[in-house]
Amino acid sequence: MCGFWRLVLVNSGLRLRLLPLREGAGRLDSPSQPMFMSLEINSSSSTDRDITAARQADVVAFLHRAPFALDAYRLGFLPGFREDCGYQQTQYQDLNIPVGMLDNDFRNPDLDRYVARFFEYEPKVGVIGDVYEGDDVDEYVAAAREVQASYPDAELIIVPKCREVIDTIPNDLVLGYSRGYADRLAHEFSEPTDWRGRRVHILGGSPPKQWDVIQQLTRPTLTDDPPADIVGLDWNGLHRGAQFGEFWTADGWDDSGRDASHVTVRKTVRHSLARIKAFWQSHGVWPDSTPHSDILEIEYEGPSPTNLDSAVCTECEANVWTTRRGPFIAEYDTGVLCGYCSYECYFSHRHRNNLEEIASEQSVYIPPA
């Protein structure tokens, strides 16, 4: 009588292999020996390398207004905003934050308007829009092709909202995986296998939720499916918690600084951003290099004496123009420009009111000695 076989799972793309059991083990005519199947998993270095590469994003974006977008930029995030929002940076003196990612107004979509905004802002990453029906795919692809004709290096994202749409979007375009605030989330109409082998940007969701998606879309499978290529992700849910004095941590929201007088919303958001960066670095998702270092540059000249509208020192009300050195000037992230008759007045007023400059020392004018 023939012996039984055991199934061995070899993790080099997850090949299946049958091996004979040892003589006399698990035979039908041996009731004292239960029949069983042995499962063994061996890791493959090539598969591990593929998964590691697939999980490392090209960009981690943060979409918000100034000054939060400026802080995110300095930490290595790709800054951007939704097409109906903007950075709201006109309140500052000569500040120009380039648009790294332009999201669409998904509540009031208009393809022609979005394409016009793309040409206006020239972002590196663009979310063309959400597609709910297979019959609408061609229209969105045509919009993407129009943009690509002028910006061939742009990463263009189309967001499927039903299973049928996933397969009809061309492979050179990025699939947007909805995980945050949306009327229809990706996991509600699809399986992880539907996204494998495609380039994917995860839209919204806290880092633990996004990490769960990344693992689902990239882990080894029995059928040797290629992992999804996670090209980017974004989440801007930090500001709401910061308004209540809470900052994000890998273990949840922390409100330990809620009652501290020196803690501001901006400082809390910046602290959360730093923790998110550390989270993605620890999981191998954070990009190898700053994604915008060679293409995006902040333009900011800082304040000068010509920007002052008043000669009165903000702190002591002396005339700033009658001092030996002239006015000291600071531009704060509140959009207020203040003149001082001395460094001591600047320092006292700044710290007593817990103020912060829009761009650190770049936002302070110190007259020559």
Q: Where are the alpha helices (DSSP H) in 45-178?
A: 45-55, 68-75, 111-121, 137-150, 163-168
pLDDT tens per residue, range 87-137 = 988 888 778 889 999 999 999 999 999 999 999 999 999 999 999 999 999
- Give the Å distances, CA to CA, from 222 to 104, 144, 187, 215, 219: 37, 35, 21, 15, 10
- Token readout for 14 is 């997850």
> What is the per-residue DSSP string for 185-240?
-GGGT--GGGGTTSEEEEESS-HHHHHHHHHHHHS--TT-PPPPEEEEEE--THHH
**C-beta separation of 285 from 230 below 8 A:** yes
Give the pLDDT of residue 4: 41
Structural domain spans, the chain: 5-43, 49-299, 302-365
Q: Cα separation of 86 and 66, whole Å?
A: 9
Alpha-carbon gap, residue 104 to 174, rounded angstroms: 15
Token pair, residue 229, equals: 């290529």
Kindly state the helix (H) or strand (E) to which residue 278 belongs, with its residue range. Answer: helix 265-282
Confidence band (pLDDT; 50, 70, 90) for 42?
A: very low
| Structure confidence by residue, pLDDT tens digits, 157-184 | 999 999 999 999 999 999 999 999 889 9
Q: Residues with Cβ < 8 Å from 185, sequence gap 6 or more?
A: 178, 179
Residue 287, classed as helix, strand or coil, is: coil
How many other C-beta atoms can be found within 10 angstroms of the C-beta atom of residue 57? 26
Tell me 103's DSSP state. Answer: E
Q: Is 291 helix (H, G, I), strand (E, B) or coil?
A: coil
Q: How far is CA 29 from the centre of its chain?
A: 61
Q: How far apart are CA 128 and CA 110, in angstroms?
A: 10
- CATH topology for 302-365? Ribosomal Protein L24e; Chain: T; (2.30.170)
**Phi (first) and psi of residue 196, to 5 degrees:** -70, 145
Q: Read off the pLDDT of residues 273-296 as tens digits, 9 standing for 90 and up.
A: 999 999 999 999 999 876 555 556
Within this chain, domains 49-299 and 302-365 share the same CATH topology:
no
pLDDT category at 352 given cuts 50, 70, 90 is: very high
pTM of the model: 0.78
% residues pLDDT > 70 (the chain): 83
The Cα 206–Cα 161 span in angstroms is 20
**Pair 201, 194: CB distance under 8 Å:** no
Q: How confident is the model at residue 298 (pLDDT cuts 50, 70, 90)?
A: confident
Q: List CB contacts of 184: < 8 A, sequence separation 6 or more.
A: 132, 161, 162, 178
Burial 217-241 (b: 16+ CB within 10 A, else e): bbebeeeebebbbbbbbbbbebeeb
Q: Which of 356, 361, 366, 365 is nearest to 66 (CA)?
A: 356
* Beta strands 41-43; 364-365: pairing state: unpaired
Joined together, the tokens standing for residue 86 give: 């903007």
- Rounded to an integer, what distance in angstroms lies between the CA atom of residue 214 and that of residue 249? 19
49-299, CATH topology level = TIM Barrel (3.20.20)
Residue 18 has pLDDT above 50, yes or no: no
CA–CA dist 81, 303 (Å, integer): 26
Residue 59 is predicted with a pLDDT of 95
- Cα–chain center distance at 219: 21
CB 45 within 8 A of CB 273: no
Task: For residue 194, give both structure tokens.
Answer: 């539907």
